[in-house]
Structure 1
Amino acid sequence: MSIQDKGPKPNAFDIETATVQNDNYRVVAWTGKFLQVTLMSIPPGDSIGLEAHPATDQFLRIDAGKGRCVMGPEKDKLDFQQDVSDGWSIQVPAGTWHDVINTGEEPLRLYTVYAPSHHAAGAVQPTKEDADKAEESGADEPPEWTEQPEDSEPDEHAG
């Protein structure tokens, strides 16, 4: 299934099929003015990467594979841990350190909803390394037409 981010125009697609078929680390599927939908595929033994979004709430849903979600108020105090698999959802409040680790033997496939939008519209990042490079270079910024909080701190990443 091919997904094309059409920006803040009406859109509908089979999100479960698209998520399960996605082989890329991250694909931005839809970017609205106030939120964004991305598809992710995390290889066995890898993770999203420990991070905190100071001004972004996040919702994730697992559609294939199994993993462990960790969250907490500090990167060294991850006092919430939950094993997750197909059908599980994860809610990450803004400012919370979080990671999702693939503990299974197949790719962990999930989608995430960011509010506000968090990535460049239509971005396709085949690997985590590609995503990291895009973020470091400034190429992974949300579009100017999205609503972003004023005076927000930048995202934090561990290690």
Structure 2
Amino acid sequence: MTIKDIGPEPQSFDLEKATVANTDYRSVAWSGKYLQLTLMSIPVGEDIGLEAHPETDQFLRLDAGRGRVQMGSAKDRLDFDREVEDGWAVLVPAGTWHNVTNIGDEPLQLYAVYAPVHHAPGRVHATFADAERDEASGGDEPPSWSVQPARQASDQHA
């Protein structure tokens, strides 16, 4: 199942089926003016990478697999540590250092809602390395028509 990001136009689809069917590390499914939906697949033993988004809140929901969520106010102070699985939600406040690690024996399938929009519309990254390269080259920027904070701080990565 492939979802085409049609930008800030009305859209509907079976989100759980799309999330479970997604095999890409990250695939942008819908980009609105104020928020964005991405589908993610994290391979066994891998993670999303320790990061913090200073101006972006995130909502994550797991639709398959088991994970470990770690969050905190600093990259060396991750005092929130929980095991999560299918059906669980994870809420990441802006500026919070966070990581999600696949601790199960199957891909960890989840979706993420970003507010404000965080990635280029329709962008697909097959792997974590692809996502890192795209971000480092400046190719994964929010669209000009999305509403962004007046002062934009850069994401932080460990």
TM-score over 0.5 for the pair? yes
Please report how far the alpha carbon of residue 127 of structure 1 lies from its aligned counterpart in structure 2 after TM superposition: 0.3
Deviations 1:48-72 (A, max 9, x none): 0000000000000000000100000
Q: Which amino acid in 1 is paired with 2:139? A: A
Deviations 1:95-116 (A, max 9, x none): 0000000001110000000000
Match of 2:38 in 1: 38
Please report how far the alpha carbon of residue 152 of structure 1 lies from its aligned counterpart in structure 2 after TM superposition: 1.8
Match of 1:3 in 2: 3
- 1:120 is aligned to 2:120: yes
- 1:147 is aligned to 2:147: yes
Please report how far the alpha carbon of residue 140 of structure 1 lies from its aligned counterpart in structure 2 after TM superposition: 0.4
Please report how far the alpha carbon of residue 76 of structure 1 lies from its aligned counterpart in structure 2 after TM superposition: 0.1
Match of 2:27 in 1: 27
Q: Any stretches of 5+ residues in structure 1 without a counterpart?
A: none
Helix, strand or coil at the partner of 2:122: coil
Cα distance in 2 between the residues matched to 1:78 and 1:41: 23
Q: TM-score, normalised by structure 1?
A: 0.99
Match of 1:74 in 2: 74
Cα distance in 1 between the residues matched to 2:131 and 2:102: 18
Cα distance in 2 between the residues matched to 1:18 and 1:72: 30
Please report how far the alpha carbon of residue 150 of structure 1 lies from its aligned counterpart in structure 2 after TM superposition: 1.2
Match of 1:64 in 2: 64
Match of 2:96 in 1: 96
Q: Which amino acid in 1 is paired with 2:79? A: D
Count of residue pairs brought into register by the alignment: 158
Match of 1:54 in 2: 54
RMSD: 0.4
User: Percent identity over the alignment?
Assistant: 62
